[in-house]
Amino acid sequence: MNIQRLTKAEEDIMVIIWKLGPCTVSQIIAEMGGTKPPHSTISSIVRILEKKEFLSHKAYGRTYEYFPIIEQKDYSKFSISKLASNYFKGSMQEMVSFLVKEEEVDIEELKAIINQLDN
């Protein structure tokens, strides 16, 4: 599987599709907060996501229902690995250490995570 990096807009759409499961462009737009973008904009992004092999679709007449073919956990793993590679010399240890030092994760949370992994 060759996962590609998504733009912010593409990632936002994928998060909605992962949440909804199979859905139409209209359902994606309905799920969006704030000012709703034009249907054509979301439709274009969805077609790009298909080209990047994140989505596929089923046609029901003129209506397309889109569904993910890359799982959210797989993209999450890819993104975290990319983050560690780009900013922490590929070291997960350095990345976690950074998060603790910057108080994004406190020691008690880290201990809870370790305990959870041990069990």
56 and 97 fall within a common domain: no
Q: Enter the pTM of the model.
A: 0.79
21 and 51 fall within a common domain: yes
3-state DSSP assignment of residue 117 = helix
Residue-range definition of the domain harbouring residue 105? 88-119
53 and 97 fall within a common domain: no
How confident is the model at residue 1, as a pLDDT? 64
Higher per-residue confidence, 99 vs 67: 67
User: Are 68 and 14 in contact, with CB atoms under 8 Å apart?
Assistant: yes
How far the first Cα of the chain sits from its last, in Å, is 30
Share of the chain above pLDDT 70, in %: 99
| 106 found inside a domain | yes
36-75 confidence digits (pLDDT tens): 999 999 999 999 999 999 999 999 999 999 999 999 999 9
3-state DSSP assignment of residue 102 = coil
How confident is the model at residue 92, as a pLDDT? 81
Average predicted confidence (pLDDT) for the chain: 90
Residue 81 has pLDDT above 90, yes or no: no
CA–CA separation, 45 and 49 (whole Å): 6
Which phi and psi (to 5°) does residue 66 adopt? Answer: -100, 145
64 and 92 fall within a common domain: no
Please enumerate in sequence order all residues whose Cβ is within 8 A of that of 100, keeping only pairs 6 or more positions apart, or say none.
Answer: 106, 107, 110
| 35 found inside a domain | yes
55 and 18 fall within a common domain: yes
